[in-house]
Amino acid sequence: MTDLHEGRVVWVTGAASGIGRATVEEILQEGGFAVGSDLPGSDLSWAEGDERIAVVTGDVADPDHNDAAVNTALERFGRLDGAVLNAGIAGRDDLFGESMELFDRVQEVNVRAVVLGIRSVAKVMRPGSAITVTASTSGMRGDPGMWVYNTSKAAVINLVRSASMDLASRGIRINAVCPGPTETGMTEGPYGEGSPGYEDLRRRMPLQKWGRSSEVAAAHSFLLSTKASQITGVHLPVDGGMSANSGQFTPPSFTL
């Protein structure tokens, strides 16, 4: 344990599971306090009994929920120094179908809610504060059958670039983290360890291994911290080198 976030208060969305939970744990390990939020009914029991965490439930697509999470930070800890706008949903649909329902909901959660989160935190953050957003390597390129999700993640990458311009004069930095395949609630099932999908994606990453939530959390932690004080508007891949590959050749296979 070091003290990268000593005394600092960070709100993390999607905190019940995967990258969000790991990021809360990272903030606490680094001496900080956290507000963890997630959907009503999600399992936040792991945070029970820890005075350093306040829990809020609601839908990030609801502006009132975003304000409630920010108010919780102020009421419970007296300040808000960081926000990790991480909650997100996957979604695949038929490009040639008729319904726009899934597309609209994915953009609502993965893009519109990030705007709501930025607006809510910017009202109270002081100079020196920072925001991170969980985008994806899927936002950096196209993937077959993934137009719904990839559109949303590309949008937040450019939202982060543009918002960095408008937040700078308030002394607030904003950056995106772009995980590649990472073992979380979102990827278990068809992409669970041992499945053909898991192995296929593993082979596409030069480091030949899936990411862990803690590895993505470490990137959020760095970008939130004062060590990243000259970094804003970037998107940082945490993807085992996947996005470095032009896609022409499969990376060499090896075991260490």
Any contact of residue 61 with ligand NAD (CB under 6 A)? yes
Examine residue 60 and tell whether it contacts ligand NAD (CB under 6 A): yes
Candidate residues 102, 115, 146, 186; the one interacting with ligand NAD per rule CB under 6 A: 186
The string of DSSP letters for 19-81 reads HHHHHHHHHHHTT-EEEEEE-TT---GGGTT-TTEEEEES-TTSHHHHHHHHHHHHHHHS---
Residues with catalytic function: 149
Return the bridge partners of 177, or none: 134, 236
Q: Which of 20, 32, 82, 240 binds ligand NAD (CB under 6 A)?
A: 20
By beta-carbon proximity to ligand NAD, the closer residue of 175 and 187 is: 187
Tokens coding 226? 């004062």
Torsion of CA 117, 118, 121, 126, to 10 degrees: 160
Closest CA to 193 of 209, 204, 205: 209
Question: Per rule CB under 6 A, is residue 218 in the interface with ligand NAD?
Answer: no
Residue 155: which region, alpha, beta or left (left: phi > 0; alpha: psi -120 to 50)?
alpha
With contacts defined by CB under 6 A, name the span among 9-17, 47-55, 70-78, 247-255 that binds ligand NAD. 9-17
**Among the residue ranges 25-33, 68-76, 81-89, 115-123, the one whose residues contact ligand NAD (CB under 6 A):** 81-89
Binding site for ligand NAD (CB under 6 A): 13-14, 16-20, 38-39, 42, 59-61, 86-89, 109, 134, 136, 179, 181-182, 184-187
